Amino acid sequence: MDRIRIVGGNALNGIIPISGAKNAALPLMIASLLTSDTLTLENVPHLADVEGLIRILGNHGVDIAVNGRREHQDGSYSRTIHFTCRTVADTTAPYELVSKMRASFWVIGPLLAREGQARVSLPGGCAIGTRPVDLFIEGLAALGAEMEIDGGYINAKAPKGGLIGARYTFPKVSVGATHVMLMAASLARGTTVIGNAAREPEVVDLANCLIAMGAKISGAGTSTITIEGVPSLSGARHRVLPDRIETGTYAMAVAMTGGDVTLSGTDITLLDTAIEAIRRAGAEVSAVEGGIRVIGHGDQIRPVDIVTEPFPGFPTDLQAQFMGLMTRANGVSHVTETIFENRFMHVQELARLGAKITLSGQTARIEGVSRLRGAPVMATDLRASVSLVIAGLAAEGETMVSRVYHLDRGFERLEEKLTRCGAIVERISD
């Protein structure tokens, strides 16, 4: 099993190219099930989750063609992938595939809309919370689907003639359920109005792609989205938006270690709340042509309190990384997690590096320390794993991060990107 070795103490200087967003690429890929034409996606990141979803879509009959890998001098790595589902080969998404990645559960929406039926295993994924599927079930039921849980599977059946547009308000914000409702309602008869919809940029990206395919959608990016169903969708060409979580992660790494880095191919407007928190912590962050410039002052980090919230609030997917940054702040900070109940599993691993963190319910109190010291640590989930990398970059001596397969799910060529900017980071394959 691979490990990542980090020797801390080096400031980061140079350019880090930002990849396409995993959280946008996955629902965009699933949208290919909605049409018999070809959906072409540009800027698709090379990640374990993307490769896993490619296998799942192949099981449903999607033909996938990947253009040649395109290497750039700046180290970026983008792919263009063509997805064609002439006919759906199988409306069942089996446990052995869905259990490995939660997002694969989202195929239930397109399968139900296009084929009128779907049998999808209850999902798996990171152990950061229960993330129940009731919102998906209730939303699709509002469109007329009959939903039944049997033997660990959800059996879904659309009424004769297909799904029917309806008005449905989510009792709580859910990005995944909003994705599924958008896709399902695009082929429903009549108009669907989604209330309390997720407002994340990745939702807007999916809506824009569906519009390019012929869907009639308005209001994406607000809490009310209106979809006028159409009989069929066509193919399209769409570019995956930049990964705001990767952007914020590297910005925090620079803020913690010091240095001057340009994050290329990204957009500062995708994460206003996180950027503001990084600035309050003492780093200089500014929009530049083609990206974002971050200047860090590693020994002058100020304490900042944050609370995770749905967009446009502070992203839960940057909580662990920000906690890593706060371990070196000159004072006490607080991090409150409101999205997932189990998302503090990185706390004990950060403590192995010398961090002083105490937990009280869903709030962590972080007392900044003058220095961290390298140690062997273990990744527990995707975002927690990269928080350990950030802390290791600032720690004295060697940090060895094990179980890095979590990292490979969401960060493309992380060690190469950091090494190009002066970090000592290497992957060790046992």
Q: Which range of residues forms the domain containing residue 189?
A: 22-239
4 has binding-site annotation: no
Same domain? 185 vs 251: no
Give Cβ neighbours of residue 224 (< 8 Å, ≥ 6 apart): 193, 194, 195, 197
174 has binding-site annotation: yes
Q: What is the pTM of this model?
A: 0.94
Same domain? 233 vs 162: yes
Tell me if 95 sits within 8 A of 121, measured CB to CB. Answer: yes
How many structural domains are present in the chain? Answer: 2
Tens-digit pLDDT profile for residues 270-297: 999 999 999 999 999 999 999 999 999 9
22 has binding-site annotation: yes
* pLDDT of the residue at 71: 45
Q: Give the residues of the chain that fall short of pLDDT 50.
A: 70-76, 125-131
Q: How far apart are CA 222 and CA 201, in angstroms?
A: 10
Same domain? 372 vs 352: yes
Same domain? 247 vs 235: no
Tens-digit pLDDT profile for residues 302-352: 999 999 999 999 999 999 999 999 999 999 999 999 987 667 889 999 999
CATH number of domain containing 367: 3.65.10.10
Same domain? 225 vs 316: no
* pLDDT of the residue at 312: 96
**Is 421 an annotated catalytic residue?**
no
Tell me if 216 sits within 8 A of 260, measured CB to CB. Answer: no
Same domain? 39 vs 154: yes
Same domain? 203 vs 274: no
Q: Tokens 């990016």 map to which residue?
A: 221
The sign one gets for the Cα dihedral 147, 93, 204, 310 is: positive
Same domain? 83 vs 13: no
Residue ending a domain, choose from 205, 239, 273? 239
Residue ending a domain, choose from 239, 258, 288? 239
Same domain? 109 vs 213: yes
Residue ending a domain, choose from 177, 207, 239? 239
Same domain? 234 vs 327: no
Catalytic residue among 85, 126, 209, 421: 126
Burial class (CB in 10 A: 0-12, 13-18, 19+), 19: buried
Same domain? 341 vs 363: yes
172 has binding-site annotation: yes
Same domain? 247 vs 324: yes
Q: Please give the distance of CA 2 from its chain centroid, rounded to a whole number.
A: 22
